[in-house]
Structure 1
Amino acid sequence: MNHVGASPLPPGVMYFDAFVSPEEEATLAAILDNGAWSTELKRRVQHFGYRYDYKARTVTPDAYLGPLPQWFGIFAERLVTEGYCRNLPDQVIANEYLPGQGISAHIDCVPCFDDTIVSISLLSACEMVFHDVRGPAACGVLLQPRSGVLLRDSGRYGWTHEIPARKSDIVNGVRTDRSRRISLTFRKVIAPKWS
């Protein structure tokens, strides 16, 4: 498998460093830890804006939780003003990953969310792995704390992404141990037929 540095990311995938400052990272982690984590999955999650139904793989009318809290709204607006998102995100999922936890290869719900997904990493590094849905091609990138990864167009629809469930990552011959990591996934809900 190729890693960033050895070969480019898939088309439509962009990695960017230092999207949030160390102070913002600490503040976000503290705010989330004072919130209500759900344990409905193997990892803890919090939903903002809209609740995503993992079993039905959809967003329904009763899933609206209200506007994003101001502390997420600031980052949603930054994603637009800095050119990462075309439309203002209105949904965020916070996922907590402990060492050994991950998420299987997937494509975010196509009828639920628009063409741009951005994930911001807090607290720990981990590798995100991409697989071409048309064949065996795969590559990975080490997501550093406070960095972001953007999935758009073919990077959103033509490649799966995953966080392998392991306690460390070896990228370009360098082993990186994982610690507790929080990911913030920013998405724009597509105006559904029930609106």
Structure 2
Amino acid sequence: MTSLSEGLRVIKAPPTVHYIPNFITPEEGSVLWDHVYGAPKPKWTQLSNRRLQNWGGVPHPKGMLQEALPEWLEKCIGKIMLLGLFDDQHVPNHVLINEYLPGQGIMPHLDGPMYYPTVATISLGSAIIMDFYRPVEPTTSSSLESRYLTSLILEPYSLLVLKEDMYNTYLHGIAERTEDIVDCSKVCNMDQLSHSSPFPTNIKRTTRVSLTIRHVPKVLKVKLKLGKH
């Protein structure tokens, strides 16, 4: 079993980024893929630029009505727990599954205070480039280009771990495009990729599925009462 060590830290990025290539096997990835696409249709939520599944409940500022996770996701969480990423008081209880078709992405964002500030993401399907940006400061330009920090290539079967500043401060996003051009001067985890060198200069996107695994501290035992009374 791989352990979370300094050898897995992305040296050219802030110190709270870890990248683990081949965290799961292709066989394990195939099983996860089948479970994702074998989920009942009501489990999918369609957004304007992608669709997703919530497992464990739907996070809400007032608290999450917790639901039991299926065995196939509990197995993933158990494997991550062996790495020491989460302590026993913050065992992951929520998994967000995103599907990205070629040309789809997600705008730069922070995951926010509803979650414990550690996020672990397993990637399936297409490789992709994820970009990171500094927050808007009163004395700096608000343009994305001026706030660009670095990029990571996320390969299939890999695990990305963001903690502390990389979770709380720096925004992350995926550009809406069908092809990623690989600029080795910008991609900070080139030395840790599983792909044999040299890495292709471009990534033609196919369907990508990400499993974002987090701990929601505030959970409820009764259903939320939303709206006016």
TM-score (norm 2): 0.73
Aligned to 2:74: 73
Aligned to 2:217: 190
Distance (Å, rounded) in 1 between the aligned partners of 2:38 and 2:98 = 14
Highest Rg: 1 or 2? Answer: 2
Q: State whether residues 77 and 88 of structure 1, in contact with CA within 8 Å, keep that contact through their aligned partners in structure 2.
A: no
Pairing 1:148-167 to 2, within 5 Å after superposition: 148-167=159-178
Note closer, same or farther for the CA distance 1:71–1:171 as it changes in structure 2 (3 Å cut): same
Distance (Å, rounded) in 1 between the aligned partners of 2:125 and 2:220 = 38
How many residues get paired? 183
Distance (Å, rounded) in 2 between the aligned partners of 1:172 and 1:84 = 30
Note closer, same or farther for the CA distance 1:30–1:193 as it changes in structure 2 (3 Å cut): closer
Distance (Å, rounded) in 2 between the aligned partners of 1:31 and 1:67 = 16
**Which residue of 105, 109, 112 maps to 1:106?**
109
**Alpha-carbon deviations, 1:34-61, whole Å to 9, x = none?**
1132214421111100213xxxxx3544
User: Aligned-residue CA RMSD in angstroms?
Assistant: 2.2
Q: Which runs of no fewer than 5 residues in structure 2 stay unpaired? A: 1-9, 141-146, 185-200, 223-229
Q: Which runs of no fewer than 5 residues in structure 1 stay unpaired? A: 1-5, 53-57
Distance (Å, rounded) in 2 between the aligned partners of 1:158 and 1:108 = 10
Note closer, same or farther for the CA distance 1:181–1:137 as it changes in structure 2 (3 Å cut): closer
Letter of the 1:50 partner, please give it: G
Letter of the 1:191 partner, please give it: K
Note closer, same or farther for the CA distance 1:67–1:192 as it changes in structure 2 (3 Å cut): closer
Distance (Å, rounded) in 1 between the aligned partners of 2:103 and 2:93 = 30
Distance (Å, rounded) in 1 between the aligned partners of 2:125 and 2:148 = 29
Aligned to 1:55: none
Aligned to 2:35: 31
- Matched-pair identity in %: 31
**Alpha-carbon deviations, 1:149-168, whole Å to 9, x = none?**
11100010110000111111
**Alpha-carbon deviations, 1:70-96, whole Å to 9, x = none?**
100111111111223333110001100
Aligned to 1:94: 97
Q: State whether residues 96 and 180 of structure 1, in contact with CA within 8 Å, keep that contact through their aligned partners in structure 2.
A: yes
